[in-house]
Structure 1
């Protein structure tokens, strides 16, 4: 089959598997999709991408030249930050502020821990070099840049083997003149050095977050630029000449050039694809309140989606030293889709802590050696080992039969590391492991809803990833959700989400103003320049497609410490708009905190402008008539984690189910890339899109 230039390919690199999806457009409305799932190659991630693409294209009977666009998401930048495997990075900063990275904002994520462990800066103090210069808060020069002092640092940096440089000066976000001049001087003497400017990476107030983000960008830039260059070379040599786009953490796509320049914006690119996937599925079904539940091999991600749009944020923490503890990681000031991510995946390892309690994750077996049942040298029990021992997987049919599982190795690992210490046989040890990981995920979902001032009343779960459909129904029971949807291609949901993402870019900049003295001309000038910048980036990859623009102001009552996002009109503001924007802020504040603060002025700290191609319109699917249920392909003995009882569960082949067919739980709907568990008291019906809709009876 050849479809000319009407096929697109998406690749998501995870900690355990690399997922690939190919979609071909057949006619005006019809689309056909093929998927592949291969083990990630941590030593050279591009090899897994090339292998996955080869497998997917072979299944689709396509040639590399048939692909018109490749979209890629990766956790490579995140892993480099977590594992501290980035470049040797230095920081040039304003004299007197070299310790900002270490001091932070002096907050403690645990007020009562006298031996608290704080995250260490990516740049040690000896490589944080002060430069005499100073701007005031309006950008006026108080002390000119000392160019001689700056040049004097370069021989030291060379002698230290520095590979990347971050430049962040006080108030550089208002006026970048000193940062740009410093970069010019360094590049003139050291043209091959990678340089990141805070005025380009994160032009917002709050120097700790700005410096931290800039340093993180510099830290991963050589690694990511090298990887993307190798990937592009491998794809070109394989005959793929199409444009390559990267998924951004904020949910848009950008060119490989922009991604190489600002790789810090890729840290949540894979999970962002999953949220886009869920939002698309929600539009297809007309579900305006859903929880996106993405469980892969290494992590689980939950994201609230309302009115078919994921929650957005502009702050993110990476490499937390306190497990699940907010404030214990390195702060990044980048546009992201807001979600909770925990170390709970199929490869997450189980063990007993010092008090004899079962703990799962965040350590993962990854792709190499993988869970014990993979037979690749792993000896510690992972969640996949527990699921296999509970009877949830067929050892001979896992991953479509490509990977034969060793039930004996899984049981032995559970006995040695969990069961022996608790006096439990391996079946009950496996139950404990799965219940613990399900409760961890459910608890993360509860906290996420509380922090977002939302609830799960009337909400549905969209479950995907290799483990989402396996664990989804039990997580739903724990948080009180009674409906779950498992889309087709759920095992590679994030990769499919890449195919649904718009080409987009967000620009965030600071401009301080208060409503009592709102600087209308200044704000309009800033928003116009931000719109032009975002439009310029999007134009590189939109190929003339129509775009839409959104504008947001980040505001707070005077004297408060945190801002709230308020939507702004996409046009020049007038004096008459100020009262309406203030009213919108009061309403949003009331939603979070129950009541406004009358008589208090509001200050605006930052603005965000997003330009993106228009998302394809989706019509909700119509209901379909009932159809006969297929015959089960086998029966498995499965231990129910709620009761501990072992009973026969019928197993159905998803490909044999027709739209309108319904089967009662307990049962398993099997497919190549995942399995959907339908627990006792649940039923499963296939809708008109081929999606599995699970409902819990009263």
Structure 2
């Protein structure tokens, strides 16, 4: 049996989706942040148990066609400011650049760089004084605690100036020495002429590089021990995948959420949603996106935490509020995140040493979560520890009893996410809220009510939806170079160089020439803005772009693995569902009352139920408030509508 495995590594849980001709199966494991390769292989172990009924990783890796991996670790690292201390080296004429960089996001800049900035007189780089200047600069930054350096020069010849520094650094700090400090040259990463974007791109890439490199190469090496026939593919934030060795760290930022957006596009097409906004609630963040008329917005110069960078990124906003985000009292109100308890120690109710209050603890105390069935029955929950955390961090500081504190936490969480939806997306009367991620469905209807949305969609694969969404991504390599002259000869020479590079890189991915497509386009900077010109096989330089300020050639080599489906899914109310159980749940203004509990796995297409109620699946729980009706679609997904 041929199958594929998709793994989405989150801050608290790691999701595994197994796709084959027989259907889709899923499982989850706890993320091990101290060693991400551990939860990676635990995910493979559980996948083999799911497939074969007993653990057999060797057989799994012999039979699997593809392993795709995405991660939110980059997003979480930026959000929580956890990473190496960077030193920034600029040219002497860029004295105003540090302040300009800081204005993008003072907190992120101070966390990544702070005062670890030095300036180099580029006019001495080709003189005998250059070595002394560079060594002095590097020693100055390392003395301030920098353990990675970023070189980013301005001016039109920034690439040549950075190359001169590179030669000196290789001579004075050869890489085989233990004391060699990793150095990233911004011009090696991007040819973007905008110094601020180029510098931020290099800083963020360098910040993420260490942890990503250590884990991904370790995971790949362990896979080689099993003689896996195909390499590990890293799902990137541009919607495609590539091998570890051909992926830059910044491309892993928000790659997990991008998987969810790929799923959102497919889901919207199946159900005919004109406009859908999504909340992907994980352990550390809630990722918010939007799909309108079958498209999600890709920005050529994307944003990381609101910071403009040189690379294209999907428009996804990451709010620092998730299932493991810390709740605390501040100035007489509830403050949420951005700190997270993560997988270790996790929410207090996990019984792993956590003492901070989280929405997971509040949901348990409200009766929404069943300790016996949570996490597929694979994890017991401790209500006593949850109560202690909520009382100490929220209830007592705010002068509330336990039930009032639990309701206040739920309302604060829903209000925060609804506010982020309005801040980042445009909500119309026909907008549908799609909720996924392990904690996405739980408060989805409450978020929708506060955001003014009347329909909520919960995929059957909601708990592993980002892993599910990366299942049909393409394998690609993308290249960008600046054209020194605006003419056909220069253009064709550049295309020839990049095409040969693409052939080498795609061969390394396992694809021969002719088995993938190559497309190219020009992007010109003009006084009126960017102008895009797609190139055909003739590759003539357009005369209309001859006077452009700058022109970049973008070349993409893509091996398509996607399989489009023209199927449509219907949602028709049929038989009223029978509850599997009842549960006493804390309900606003009603106290604790018995509510029916419906198990999605026992429901069939057309089954419907009305709130107030609880909907459960192995790995997610959804609260259905009064006034909402749920229907199971032909595909087994759940559509909830708010009655007028």
* C-alpha contact 1:14 1:75 (8 A) present in aligned 2: yes
Quick one: structure 1 residues 646 and 549, their matched pair in 2 at CA, closer, same or farther if it must change by over 3 Å?
A: farther
1:266 aligns with 2:240: no
> Which segments of 5 or more consecutive residues in structure 2 lack a partner in the other structure?
53-58
143-152 vs 309-318, which deviates more? 143-152
**Residue 138 (structure 1) aligns with:** none
Counterparts of residues 545-624 of structure 1 (less than 5 Å):
546-547=516-517, 549=519, 551=521, 553=523, 558=528, 568-571=533-536, 611-614=557-560, 615-623=562-570
For residue 438 of structure 1, the aligned residue among 389, 402, 414 is 414
Write the distance in 1 (CA, Å) between the matches of 2:66 and 2:398: 53
**Could you state the TM-score of these two structures normalised by the residue count of structure 2?**
0.86
**Residue 177 (structure 1) aligns with:** 160
For residue 14 of structure 1, the aligned residue among 6, 10, 16 is 10
For residues 264-293 of structure 1, give each alpha carbon's deviation from its aligned partner in whole angstroms, at most 9, with x where no partner exists.
Answer: 221211111111121222223232321122
Write the distance in 1 (CA, Å) between the matches of 2:466 and 2:377: 22
For residues 101-139 of structure 1, give each alpha carbon's deviation from its aligned partner in whole angstroms, at most 9, with x where no partner exists.
Answer: 522267487xxxxxx868327346566351524xxxxxx
1:471 aligns with 2:443: yes
1:494 aligns with 2:434: no
Q: CA deviation at 1:399?
A: 0.6
For residue 585 of structure 2, the aligned residue among 638, 646, 653 is 638
> Which segments of 5 or more consecutive residues in structure 1 lack a partner in the other structure?
110-115, 134-142, 321-325, 514-518, 582-600
**Residue 61 (structure 2) aligns with:** 64
Write the distance in 2 (CA, Å) between the matches of 1:55 and 1:241: 20
Counterparts of residues 33-44 of structure 1 (less than 5 Å):
33-44=24-35
For residues 406-442 of structure 1, give each alpha carbon's deviation from its aligned partner in whole angstroms, at most 9, with x where no partner exists.
Answer: 2222223222222223333212211111111111111
271-280 vs 604-613, which deviates more? 604-613
1:149 aligns with 2:140: no
**Residue 611 (structure 2) aligns with:** 665
1:397 aligns with 2:365: no
1:378 aligns with 2:378: no
* C-alpha contact 2:491 2:541 (8 A) present in aligned 1: no
Q: CA deviation at 1:670?
A: 0.9
* C-alpha contact 1:265 1:335 (8 A) present in aligned 2: no
Q: CA deviation at 1:568?
A: 4.2
Q: CA deviation at 1:314?
A: 4.2
Q: CA deviation at 1:256?
A: 0.7
Quick one: structure 1 residues 425 and 144, their matched pair in 2 at CA, closer, same or farther if it must change by over 3 Å?
A: closer
Structure 1 residue matching 2:318: 3-state secondary structure: strand
Write the distance in 1 (CA, Å) between the matches of 2:129 and 2:103: 36
**Residue 202 (structure 2) aligns with:** 214
**Residue 337 (structure 1) aligns with:** 314
Counterparts of residues 79-118 of structure 1 (less than 5 Å):
79-81=76-78, 86-87=83-84, 89-97=86-94, 99=95, 102-104=98-100, 107=103
**Residue 132 (structure 1) aligns with:** 122
Structure 1 residue matching 2:469: 3-state secondary structure: helix
* C-alpha contact 1:279 1:305 (8 A) present in aligned 2: yes
Write the distance in 1 (CA, Å) between the matches of 2:104 and 2:243: 38
Write the distance in 2 (CA, Å) between the matches of 1:37 and 1:277: 18
For residue 461 of structure 1, the aligned residue among 427, 433, 436 is 433
Write the distance in 1 (CA, Å) between the matches of 2:161 and 2:29: 48
Q: CA deviation at 1:180?
A: 3.4
* C-alpha contact 2:217 2:244 (8 A) present in aligned 1: no
**Residue 325 (structure 2) aligns with:** 348
Q: CA deviation at 1:357?
A: 0.9
Structure 1 residue matching 2:629: 3-state secondary structure: strand
Q: CA deviation at 1:403?
A: 1.1
Structure 1 residue matching 2:345: 3-state secondary structure: coil
Quick one: structure 1 residues 603 and 207, their matched pair in 2 at CA, closer, same or farther if it must change by over 3 Å?
A: closer
Q: CA deviation at 1:43?
A: 1.0
Quick one: structure 1 residues 697 and 610, their matched pair in 2 at CA, closer, same or farther if it must change by over 3 Å?
A: farther
**Residue 201 (structure 1) aligns with:** 189
For residues 209-255 of structure 1, give each alpha carbon's deviation from its aligned partner in whole angstroms, at most 9, with x where no partner exists.
Answer: 21222133234334322222211122233554421111212222122
Write the distance in 2 (CA, Å) between the matches of 1:87 and 1:346: 26
* C-alpha contact 1:10 1:498 (8 A) present in aligned 2: yes
For residue 357 of structure 1, the aligned residue among 333, 343, 348 is 333
Aligned positions, number: 624
* C-alpha contact 1:542 1:613 (8 A) present in aligned 2: no
* C-alpha contact 1:12 1:270 (8 A) present in aligned 2: yes
**Could you state the TM-score of these two structures normalised by the residue count of structure 1?**
0.80
Structure 2 residue matching 1:400: 3-state secondary structure: helix
Q: CA deviation at 1:457?
A: 2.8
Q: CA deviation at 1:203?
A: 1.5
Write the distance in 2 (CA, Å) between the matches of 1:88 and 1:422: 37
Let me know the Cα RMSD of the aligned residues: 3.5
Quick one: structure 1 residues 348 and 622, their matched pair in 2 at CA, closer, same or farther if it must change by over 3 Å?
A: closer
1:55 aligns with 2:46: yes
Structure 2 residue matching 1:620: 3-state secondary structure: coil
